[in-house]
Chain A
Amino acid sequence: MSQSEDPYEDLKITTGAVVEPNTSRVNKTGSWRQFKPVIDAETCIACGQCDTFCPDQAAKPVEGEDFYAFDLDYCKGCGICEEVCPVDAIDMIREVK
């Protein structure tokens, strides 16, 4: 997972309220979810369709493996990945928190 800088730490409002790039990562939208995607690693063919169609950059290749899985810090549970997976390797299950 990439490093994210926390813009709220020692926040001082800059001239013109200018914002540093790449600072939304501190906002973990995974908390929005009611359904979470789960991957069947065996079935996954690593085509990347889930990654292509995820609006939240939350479906990504797993390091050192041959399948894709999900960044649950950001996944909002929209279910697009389940729809676009050509081999039905993804299921949206109701999340029990």
Chain B
Amino acid sequence: MSSDLQDQDYTEEVEHGEELWNPGHRACAGCGPALAMKYITEAAGENTIISQPTGCMEVVSTPYPESSWGTSYIHNIFENAASVASGIEAAYKSFDRRDPDHLDVEKEDDVNIIAVGGDGATADIGIRALSGMMERGHDVTYIMYDNEAYMNTGVQRSSQTPLGASTTTSPAGEVSIGNDTNKKDMASIAADHGVGYVATASISNPNDFKQKVEEALSRDGPKFLHVYSPCPVGWSYESSKTVELAELAVETGLFPVFEMEDGEITSVNKIRDRKPVREWLETQGRFKHLFKDEKGEQAIEELQEWIDDRAEDLGLDA
């Protein structure tokens, strides 16, 4: 029986279908952001140009001469995915208006121009370009995949690293609880720029995320999506738990799922019996130091308080 299972191999018989996010990419086993890439390409389809900054997804998907992308794709540098996308958008606006016949290839109408970057590239080093894109009103959808640190360079703290997380630049230690700041609120920042559609989503609910991507693409102007994408290596958990943890983060209110339109919250995934954040912290090695001493306990309480405050503001609890 077990040798039958060892031999089981349906590789030649499975049907792949159309895939714009190809296998063969070098993401770690169980990678949350890789799932996000899959959902984005499924929702957006082939009439799409992706602008991506340096980061995990770019590195795992484009080692010359291989590419996991089936869509049109450009990577330039770490901090300018939003402005590269803005330039692409301007070019297409110019083409639509001036119709240069010299481009032989057929241009599709209403190309989806999507910038897809990690939390570090988006909320930190890329925020200048992002702010400019949003404020000028470019017709670009920016999707931030959030694995809560600079993962590709080996787990350094970003503005999306949660309170208490141990990273290599915010390590837990004798006198440190790890990262000492809460996640910077990118959704509000986007809304305050006048972005007409802002949404958060988790890779644990692909249908919800894909619907939000489609919603964004159906609208004009800048759109901002924040998708929660756990990282087994960076967070120290067993790779099979990625989807479960992406769900648990939502269930604890650590990552609230909502939509904002024209600055107002228009939908919230309400939580019945919100789980205490402690349950979340217990699941990952990056938080294990919080259970060792008094200062760790204080950090847990502080984090819970932050979550509770936000839950109240958002009307998160059912």
Is the pairing of A and B real?
Answer: yes
A binding-site residues for B, Cβ under 8 Å: 1-2, 4, 7-8, 11, 13, 17, 19-29, 32-33, 38-39, 52-53, 55-58, 60-65, 68-74, 76-80, 82-84, 91-93, 95-96
Tally of A-B residue pairs with Cβ under 8 A? 157
Which B19-46 residues have C-beta < 8 A from chain A? 19, 21-32, 34-35, 38
- Contact between chains at A39 and B70 (CB < 8 Å): no
Encoded as 1 (CB less than 8 Å from any A CB) or 0, chain B from 93 to 124 comes to 00000000000000000000000000000000
- Contact between chains at A7 and B30 (CB < 8 Å): no
- Contact between chains at B67 and A24 (CB < 8 Å): yes
B binding-site residues for A, Cβ under 8 Å: 2, 5-6, 8-17, 19, 21-32, 34-35, 38, 61-62, 64-71, 73, 206, 232, 238-244
Q: What is the minimal beta-carbon distance from A97 to any residue of chain B, in angstroms?
A: 9
- Selected A-B contacts with CB under 8 Å, 14 pairs: A4-B24, A24-B22, A27-B66, A52-B206, A53-B206, A55-B32, A55-B38, A60-B17, A63-B15, A65-B13, A72-B9, A79-B30, A80-B240, A83-B243
- Contact between chains at B206 and A38 (CB < 8 Å): no
* Chain A residues, CB < 8 A from B16: 1-2, 57, 60, 71
Q: What is the minimal beta-carbon distance from A55 to any residue of chain B, in angstroms?
A: 4
- Contact between chains at A58 and B239 (CB < 8 Å): no
Q: A19-B67, A55-B35, A69-B10 are in contact. List 16 more A-B contacts (CB 8 A).
A: A1-B11, A4-B24, A22-B22, A26-B66, A27-B24, A27-B26, A53-B35, A69-B13, A69-B14, A76-B28, A79-B239, A83-B240, A91-B5, A93-B2, A93-B5, A93-B6
